[in-house]
């Protein structure tokens, strides 16, 4: 069991609400000139981090090849405000502020979030919780990447001793939510690693005690070619499953558990249940170098750079949906991809639009 209620933001079946986007993407791939604006922008305003996670998917350009970032490792604040206004006018519905590292290190992130929540877009934040951002209370959700249940494990997986600070900050956020009308959902994120796979249940208990609304656990993808010392990991699946079951027993009306495994095979290894990469136009990743990239799984890879968004965000309209964009989608070799963030969405495009396996014209 991954969740007790299938109507949740972690269930990839929600991709079916983008059916009209799927249809137009397929038409565009067949030569139609119109590609709808993306549903979401994934914005990384800064390439900097205060932790040292060995499994980090951005380590290639944060630690090992800093020169790849180019001259800009941080987007100017006035530009970010202009970008947000452009995205809103363009019709983008969601803005996820994450980071090519840690977004809370971005100067004046407080004001950026405040500006964004004043638009028609829903806003979210992914953070390591080493710093409190009060305006995040106005976000739709805040993902808090903790990945441990105690100080010792935290230091092993994060590379620094900040566990007490993080737990204190999460409790502060939970108290802030209780003391206001804030709609934000706080989510304690737990990436399953060899060092912490024995304490999933303990982390879940901690999350509930802290007062967050969600606990989210999923396996790490350590098979990515851009991660140092990448390899297949072998987990005790039975033991993890037993912990998952205990975590779900902690659920109540104020605390929900999500144990996400559907993007992996039964051994938590990478799988691809689709043949074509067709869902990426649902999201536009914009990074601290002022460029947009093809996919959130292909950040800072020159081969997958869609085009420049800087200094004028309207430049996006020059290449979004272009022949080059279409050619890039067609060129992707699925066999060379790691765990696909949009795997279920890609499968939906193939089975619901291309094959119409669900006979969508009949209720």
pLDDT (tens place) for every residue of the chain, 363 residues total? 899 999 999 999 999 999 999 999 999 999 999 999 999 999 999 999 999 999 988 876 776 555 544 557 899 999 999 999 999 999 999 999 998 889 999 999 999 999 999 999 999 999 999 999 999 999 999 999 999 999 999 999 999 999 999 999 999 999 999 988 888 999 999 999 999 999 999 999 999 999 999 999 999 999 988 788 889 999 999 999 999 999 999 999 999 999 999 999 999 999 999 999 999 999 999 999 999 999 999 888 889 999 999 999 999 999 999 999 999 999 999 988 888 999 999 999 999 999 999 999 999
* Structural contact between residues 256 and 3, judged by C-beta atoms closer than 8 angstroms: yes
Q: Report yes or no on 182 lying in a domain.
A: yes
Q: Report yes or no on 360 lying in a domain.
A: no
Q: Report yes or no on 6 lying in a domain.
A: no
- The residue segments making up the domain with residue 257 are 12-354
Q: Report yes or no on 177 lying in a domain.
A: yes
Q: Could you give phi then psi for residue 251, rounded to 5 degrees? A: -65, 145
* Structural contact between residues 29 and 322, judged by C-beta atoms closer than 8 angstroms: no
* Beta-bridge partner residues of 187: 143, 214
Tokens 């987990």 locate to 235
Q: Report yes or no on 4 lying in a domain.
A: no
Count of domains for the chain: 1
Q: Report yes or no on 1 lying in a domain.
A: no
Q: Report yes or no on 327 lying in a domain.
A: yes
CATH (domain of 262): 3.20.20.70
Pairing outcome for strands 122-127 and 94-97: parallel
DSSP 3-state of 27: helix
Q: Name 285's Cβ contacts closer than 8 Å, sequence gap at least 6.
A: 41, 42, 43, 44, 292, 293, 294, 295, 296, 299
Q: Report yes or no on 7 lying in a domain.
A: no
């Amino acid at each position: 069991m991954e969740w007790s209620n299938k109507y949740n933001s972690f269930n990839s079946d929600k991709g079916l609400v983008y059916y009209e986007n799927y249809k137009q993407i397929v038409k565009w791939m067949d030569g139609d000139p119109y590609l709808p604006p993306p549903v979401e922008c994934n914005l990384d305003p800064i390439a900097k981090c205060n932790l040292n996670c060995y499994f980090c998917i951005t380590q290639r350009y944060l630690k090992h090849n800093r020169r790849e970032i180019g001259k800009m490792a941080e987007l100017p604040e006035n530009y970010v405000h202009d970008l947000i206004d452009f995205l809103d006018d363009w019709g983008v519905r969601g803005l996820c502020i994450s980071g090519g590292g840690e977004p809370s290190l971005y100067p004046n992130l407080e004001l950026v979030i405040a500006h964004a929540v004043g638009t028609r877009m829903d806003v979210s934040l992914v953070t390591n919780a080493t710093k409190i951002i009060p305006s995040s209370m106005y976000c739709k959700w805040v993902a808090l990447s903790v990945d441990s249940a105690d100080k010792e494990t935290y230091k092993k997986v994060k590379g620094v001793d900040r566990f007490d600070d993080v737990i204190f900050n999460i409790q502060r956020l939970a108290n802030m939510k209780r003391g206001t009308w804030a709609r934000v959902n706080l989510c304690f994120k737990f990436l399953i690693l060899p060092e912490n796979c024995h304490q999933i249940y303990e982390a879940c208990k901690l999350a509930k005690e802290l007062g967050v609304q969600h606990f989210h656990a999923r396996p790490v993808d350590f098979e990515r070619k851009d991660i140092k010392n990448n390899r297949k990991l072998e987990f005790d699946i039975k033991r993890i499953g037993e912990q998952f079951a205990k975590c779900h027993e902690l659920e109540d009306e104020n605390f929900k558990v999500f144990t996400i495994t559907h993007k992996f095979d039964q051994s938590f290894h990478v799988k691809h249940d689709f043949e074509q990469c067709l869902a990426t136009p649902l999201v536009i990743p914009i990074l601290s170098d002022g460029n947009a990239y093809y996919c959130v799984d292909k950040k800072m890879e020159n081969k997958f750079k869609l085009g420049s968004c800087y200094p004028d965000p309207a430049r996006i309209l020059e290449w979004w949906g272009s022949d080059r964009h279409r050619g890039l989608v067609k060129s992707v070799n699925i066999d060379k991809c790691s765990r696909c963030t949009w795997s279920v969405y890609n499968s939906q495009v193939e089975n619901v639009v291309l094959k119409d396996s669900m006979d969508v014209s009949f209720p």
